Structure 1
Amino acid sequence: MGRTHPVTGPPDDDLPRTPDGPARPRTVHLSESGLPAVVERSDWDEGWVLRIGGIEQSHVDLADPSRISHEYLRRIAAAVDTVRPRGEPLTIAHLGGGALTLVRYVQATRPDSEQLVVELERELVSFVVGALPLPAGTRLEVVVGDARDRLREMPGRLFDVVVLDVFSGEASPPHLAAEEFYVEALEHLEVDGLLLVNVGDDAGQHFIAAQAAALEAASVSLGLPGVWMLTAAALVERGDFGNYVLLAGGALAAADIDEQSQRWWAAGPHPAAVLDPEETARFVWRRGR
């Protein structure tokens, strides 16, 4: 069973800290992956980064939580911005926590939102919050465990937005990279809710093509609109390594395709590619052959 608890602020500790973060890098050993997690100053700005196994996973700006550095997360935030009128609170589930960058963004832009994080690594959330406190007033529930298992323990619980951010190419958990799981995730959305899936993939793009096809099949089975994709233009043109954001759910039902495409394209970051359902289907056909 998963462990559930609210997070209202950093735990008490006697480690040195500055007014805007820890005075020195902090490290914890993650029991599930066996990798070290480190929170330290960014090499290129005044923000903070979370590295797991030496690889940067997240960036946090404590002074301005609405500022997001990583391009794929900026695309996700732009999509979240369109789900409800500006400033209106959301109910949102984050499957995969990282440094809680999107949690911080939602609190900064939509105070009083009710947020849930499902995180496999039981040490990670408390470690991150201890080093990098959440914005005042953040309403966050943390559930420790496998994303699919934990969702199954929440029958009937619905969210305005569900964000899935656990995929990294062919090494991704196969029980999550499946049509059946997408059906389960979509069933946890409000009628006009939105599912966002971040997919990292290598050059060749076979994994992202497979995930877009699986999400499309899940959407069709539930009578939902087709799948959209947000990414960098170069990834569509040249098929390089990078991140892709897939969108599905009832929130897309009433969307004017041209208007929605322009809105997401304008939000950037640039050069941006916004693929509507027909364009996403063509992308899948080309890459999936």
Structure 2
Amino acid sequence: MCAVADEPVQHFADATAQNTRAANVEAMARTRDEASVPEVRLSDGTIARVVPSPYGGGWELDVDGTPQSHVDLDDPTHLHFEYIARMGAVIDRMRMPGQPLTAIHLGAGALTLPRYIEATRPGSRQQVIELEQTLWDLVRENLPLPRGASLRVRIGDARAGLGRLPAGLHGAADLVVSDVYSGAQTPAHLTTVEFYTEASRFLAPDGVLLVNVADGAGLAFARRQVATVRAVLEHVIVLAEVQTLKGRRFGNLVIAASRAPLPTEWLPRLMAAGPHPAKVAEGREVDEFARGARVSTDADSTASPKPTASLFTR
């Protein structure tokens, strides 16, 4: 009986040892992969790297310990970060499914959304403005774009770069995305009513502006951003994880805004698209969210709040 009882224990021990050895081999391989990825120093002194994603599949652009982008080269429709998935859900509702879009992206990162649009809407025309040439070189070398993508990357400040875009884009963009970070913060000059006024000039009459806003408890910065965007574009919805939208934890909120009413049929579909638990605020909820918040101007703007370092601890 002892022999019979001992046998499965031995099998379990063998399996445990095999799993441990496999995990060690995988960890060593990942360490070698990370060590082989070149680092580049950006103009502000921070270090940018492209590293294997710790969440299984794909790669991350990491800037001084802050994950900026996730890219899956094998499946560009895989949107890992929550706020990017919410942006993707809005993009999916625009025009007819698969119809090409004209898009302007302020802030490149690893080009997650441009890759998504290229994969889901072939033939789209896209312009990207990225501040750092060295960052773009790092991404282009290590995370190459698909052949034939109609995408132009321009180097320079996002706001100044708007003034250098072709005049033919004025009033022609289906989508403008503002997702600009210096380290873990959005620069102050990209949070103002003057900035959003400049960006909105490129929108088609029913074009959509998407803004990524990061904020923590109380959401004072996010409330100002919603008030500021609404001063330029009348129709606004806000997408976020439930606890983030309640101001109970640091996280990302997505503002979607347009001159034209955003279709009401979007709302249940955006909720269903997740990531869950999802919340879409509109109408009176947005009124209440922005109540009492001052519009941000070039004279009094601030950068987005800096998250604590522990937020990105693996």
The two structures share one fold, judged by TM-score above 0.5? yes
Offset, 1:212: 0.3
SS of the equivalent of 1:138 reads: coil
Counting strand residues as a fraction of each chain, which structure ranks higher?
A: 1
Give per-residue Cα distances to partners, 1:92-149, cap 9 Å, x unaligned. Answer: 1110000111111111101111111101112112210110111232111011111111
Cα offset for 1:277? 3.1
1:9 aligned partner: none
Q: What code does the residue aligned with 2:210 have?
A: L
Partner of 1:74: 85
| Structure 2 counterpart of 1:218 | 232
Is 1:191 the counterpart of 2:205? The answer is yes
User: What amino acid maps onto 2:63 in structure 1?
Assistant: I
**Which residue of structure 2 lines up, in the alignment, with residue 263 of structure 1?**
269
Paired amino acid for 1:237: K
SS in structure 2 of the partner of residue 166 of structure 1: coil
**Letter matched to residue 269 of structure 2:** R
For residues 81-160 of structure 1, what are the structure 2 equivalents within 5 Å?
A: 81-154=92-165, 155-157=167-169, 158-160=172-174
Cα distance in 2, alignment partners of residues 112 and 133 from structure 1: 18
Whether the 8 Å CA contact 2:84–2:113 is kept in 1: the answer is: yes
Question: Which amino acid in 2 is paired with 1:234?
Answer: Q
CA contact (8 A) 2:64 2:183 kept: no
Q: Is the 8 A contact 1:194 1:247 kept in 2?
A: yes
Give a deviation string over 1:60-104, Cα, whole Å, max 9, x none: 111100011000000001101111111111111110000111111
The AA in structure 1 aligned to 2:112 is T
Distance (Å, rounded) in 2 between the aligned partners of 1:254 and 1:107? 23
**1:3-28 CA distance string (max 9 Å, x none):** xxxxxxxxxxxxxxxxxx99932211
Aligned to 1:240: 249
Cα distance between partner residues in 2 of 1:279 and 1:271: 17
Residue 45 (structure 2) pairs with residue 34 (structure 1): yes
The count of aligned residue pairs is 259
Tell whether the 8 Å contact from 1:212 to 1:284 is kept in structure 2 after alignment.
Answer: yes
Look at both structures and tell me which one has the larger radius of gyration over its CA atoms: 2
Distance 1:232 1:169, change over 3 A: farther
Partner Cα distance (2:214, 2:183) in 1: 6
- Verify the 8 A CA contact 2:209 2:258 in the aligned structure 1: yes
Say if 1:204 and 1:287, in contact at 8 Å, map to a contact too: no
Alignment partner, residue 25 of structure 1: 37
Calculate percent identity across the aligned residue pairs.
44
Matched ranges for 1:41-80 at <5 A: 41-80=52-91
- What SS does the corresponding residue of 1:83 show, helix, strand or coil? coil
Seen in structure 2, the aligned counterparts of structure 1 residues 149 and 287 have a Cα distance that, compared at 3 Å, is closer
- Give SS of 1:123's match: helix
Equivalent residue number for residue 204 of structure 1 = 218
In 2: Cα distance, 1:75 partner to 1:210 partner: 21
Residue-by-residue CA offset, 1:139-189 (whole Å, 9 max, x unaligned): 110111111111122345231100000158995322211111111111110
Q: Counterparts of 2:42 and 2:253 in 1: how far apart (Å)?
A: 27
Contact 2:245 2:253 in 1 (8 A): no
CA contact (8 A) 1:165 1:198 kept: yes
Question: For residue 49 of structure 1, what is the amino acid of its counterpart?
Answer: E
In 1, distance between residues paired with 2:222 and 2:142?
34
Query: What is the TM-score of this pair, normalised by structure 1?
Result: 0.84
- Does structure 1 retain, via aligned residues, the 8 Å contact 2:208–2:258? yes
Q: 1:167·1:198 contact (CA, 8 Å) conserved in 2?
A: no
* Long gaps (5+) in structure 2: 1-32, 295-314
Contact 1:112 1:137 in 2 (8 A): no
- Provide runs of 4+ in structure 1 moved above 4 Å: 167-171
Equivalent residue, structure 2, for 1:178: 192
Q: 1:228 and 2:240 equivalent?
A: no
Higher deviation after alignment, 146-155 or 226-235: 146-155
Letter in 2 for 1:51: D
Q: 1:280 aligns with which of 277, 286, 310?
A: 286
Q: Which has the higher contact order (CA 8 A, sep 6+)?
A: 1
The answer on whether the counterparts of 1:119 and 1:144 sit within 8 Å (CA) in structure 2 is yes
